[in-house]
Amino acid sequence: MPDRYDPNTGPSRRKLLKCMMWGSAGVLWTVSGGVLKPLSLNGDALAAAPAAGDFTFMQISDTHIGFKGAANPDPGATLKEALARVGKVRPAMLLHTGDVSHLTKPEEFEMAVQIMKSAGLETHYVPGEHDTINDNGKSFFERFGRETSTGGWYSFDQGGVHFIGLVNVVDLRSGGLGYLGPAQIEWLADDLKGKSASTPIVVFAHMPLWTVSADWGWGTDDAAPAIAHLKRFGSVTVLNGHIHQVIQKVEGNVSFRTAYSTAFPQAAPGTPGASPGPLKVAAEKLRTVLGVRRVDVVHDKDVVLTDATLAS
């Protein structure tokens, strides 16, 4: 498969996705045989029309409606901008990987619902720890938990992909990271039973399902036993939020990738003197560090992730 742009064939969508130059819009990767290959990208990649037979969805994360800090006094406005970008792609559906609200307040959830409505898209949510403060997610699941099982986790099939939404922000333990719990891991094992190993799997959860930084709480204590159930599958893509930046890891056939926030950035893990809280950047830079993700499941079962900032 050519990884370079061929000026003779013209920018078909596939070529556009796979043959871009490096650009400010972000970096395009393809997952093939479990190895993420960095490809080039320009601003058109996000808005290229999906090809017939392909399945396109998008991910947004960490909208933090209700946040009023200096890092972004108006996260509602940047969410609207993010949804405008989503609208141009016209994906089949949208995933929201949590921290919908900043403080689990009813008025924050209500405002988020109103803004999200403007996208006019079926949206599947998982909660972040900001959505479950002191009520174990009760108010979040009442609003966003259409498909919920007892603990709020669920799965569904769409576009030939098996989607699994996990909850790793409830019942967090003192001194720990994110937490799935044995009941959820048992459910996952059950859910995957009988699935063909060639079924593409997309897992989405708020906190990273690998340890990006233990000191900053950027990981999930019991991710390993959950991931173990996914290892027999040929293509597993794990989409997370929480850390407000794009970081990725590949482990065999499992590729993990965190997403941009639509509200405010956070420091790179381990930055001296920094903390895992909101990072204030110059106002004119804010949109270069917020973004959305497009995911194309192309008919040869490649899963192509495109991260694009609000400035691109």
Only one of the segments 33-41, 193-201, 209-217, 252-260 lies at the binding site for other proteins (rule: CB under 8 A); that segment is 209-217
**Closer by beta carbon to other proteins, 67 or else 144:** 67
Minimum gap (Å) between residue 273 Cβ and other proteins: 9
| 51 binds other proteins, rule: CB under 8 A | no
| 176 binds other proteins, rule: CB under 8 A | yes
CB distance 178 to 169 below 8 Å = yes
Site for other proteins in 93-122 (CB under 8 A): 102-104
**Closer by beta carbon to other proteins, 173 or else 193:** 173
Q: Please say whether the dihedral angle defined by the alpha carbons of residues 110, 287, 168 and 193, taken in this order, is positive or negative.
A: positive
CA distance 116 to 110: 10
Scan for tokens 């919908």, then name that residue.
100
Site for other proteins in 4-43 (CB under 8 A): none
| 282 binds other proteins, rule: CB under 8 A | no
Task: By CB under 8 A, name the one of 214, 224, 228, 283 that touches other proteins.
Answer: 214
248-251, strands of its sheet edge to edge: 154-158, 161-165, 201-204, 236-240, 254-258, 248-251
**Closer by beta carbon to other proteins, 183 or else 274:** 274
What angle separates helix 75-89 from helix 106-117, to the nearest 10 degrees?
A: 30
Task: By CB under 8 A, name the one of 129, 296, 302, 307 that touches other proteins.
Answer: 129
| 216 binds other proteins, rule: CB under 8 A | yes
Residue 14 has, within 13 A of its CA and on its CB side, a CA count of 13
**Closer by beta carbon to other proteins, 47 or else 103:** 103
CA distance 284 to 294: 24
| 272 binds other proteins, rule: CB under 8 A | no
Identity at 185, one-letter amino acid code:
I
Instruction: Let me know how long the chain is.
Output: 312
CA distance 230 to 234: 9
Both structure tokens of 167: 């909850």
| 268 binds other proteins, rule: CB under 8 A | no
Q: Which whole-number Å values give the CA distances from 306 to 123, 261, 273, in the listed order?
A: 19, 15, 31
- Three-state SS at 117: helix
| 234 binds other proteins, rule: CB under 8 A | no
Only one of the segments 53-61, 111-119, 173-181, 296-304 lies at the binding site for other proteins (rule: CB under 8 A); that segment is 173-181
Minimum gap (Å) between residue 6 Cβ and other proteins: 48
Size of the residue set binding other proteins (CB under 8 A): 24
Site for other proteins in 63-82 (CB under 8 A): 69-71
- Using CB under 8 A, list all residues that contact other proteins: 69-71, 102-104, 129-130, 133-134, 172-177, 214-217, 275-278
